[in-house]
Amino acid sequence: MYEERPPHPALAGRVACLWSRVVTEEATQPVVPDGCVDVMWGPSGPQVAGPDTGPHPVRLTPGDVYHGLRFLPGAVGEALGVPVAELRDLRVPLADLPDLGVREPGDLVRAMAVRLRGTPPPDRAARPIARALADGGRIGDVARELGLSERQLHRRTHSAFGYGPKTLQRVVRFQRALRMAGEGRALAEVAAVSGYADQAHLSNEVRRLAGMPLGQLLSRP
């Protein structure tokens, strides 16, 4: 069972949701790139799931319980005490990061609210950058549209999301396609609207980012 809840008001604008999962069946499932960073508590204790650039397999055992807090894409800022790029494609125990004061799952919201009050806000350009890249524009065109040089765009994207604009564009395009396909729209339409060259391009990108075909990805519990 997987459940998402709206964030506490103290986390609004920075956190997408609070989530929990109770595992009922043994399986290995990939966590796919979504531009987000999660702080979570699972069977191995509290850890941070950094921004992924490919599928991250997770072994699920019946009875395991997970609780998590998911940052909005580009919204983690300095809240974890390390540059987000240092967490890319990693699962890092909270004990290896500056102390957040998390001693049990119930501490996640309180500790993060305290940390967010004491750190600078994220780059205000992060959301406009993600939206512009999601529309499929060339990197140079997106930079000019936002009044940035390509070097500035790369630096700010790397700082906010943990990777460069080309990777961010692949991730946001993939997530858009996943949402549309989940609504039952034809794959040819999904590919065209999401900015892929054609349906084959969509299929290849899904395999690279998710490690499985789109149909199999959508059928996961």
Check if the beta carbon of residue 165 is closer than 8 Å to that of residue 129.
Answer: yes
pLDDT tens-place string over residues 49-105: 999 999 999 999 999 999 999 999 999 999 999 999 999 999 999 999 988 888 888
Judged by average pLDDT, the poorest of 78-82, 123-127, 176-180, 215-219 is: 215-219
SS3 sequence of 50-92: CCCCCCEEEEECCCCEEEEEEECCCCCCCCCCCCHHHHCCCEE
CATH superfamily of 126-218: Homeodomain-like (1.10.10.60)
Percent of the chain with pLDDT over 70: 100
Show Cβ contacts of residue 165 under 8 Å, excluding neighbours closer than 6 positions. Answer: 129, 133, 139, 142, 153, 154, 157
pLDDT beyond 70 at 221: no
Which DSSP letter does residue 212 get? Answer: S
C-alpha–C-alpha distance, residues 59 and 79, integer Å = 28
Q: At what angle do helices 150-161 and 126-134 cross, to 10 degrees?
A: 110
User: What is the per-residue pLDDT for 163?
Assistant: 97
Show Cβ contacts of residue 163 under 8 Å, excluding neighbours closer than 6 positions. Answer: 51, 53, 85, 88, 157
Band (106; pLDDT cuts 50, 70, 90): confident
Please state the pTM of the whole predicted model. 0.92
Check if the beta carbon of residue 88 is closer than 8 Å to that of residue 41.
Answer: no
pLDDT tens-place string over residues 9-52: 989 899 999 999 999 999 888 999 999 999 999 998 999 999 99
Check if the beta carbon of residue 149 is closer than 8 Å to that of residue 159.
Answer: no
Locate the domains of the chain by residue range. 2-117, 126-218
State the residue for tokens 């501490």.
107
Q: 45 by DSSP, 3-state: which? A: strand
Mean pLDDT of 182-195: 92
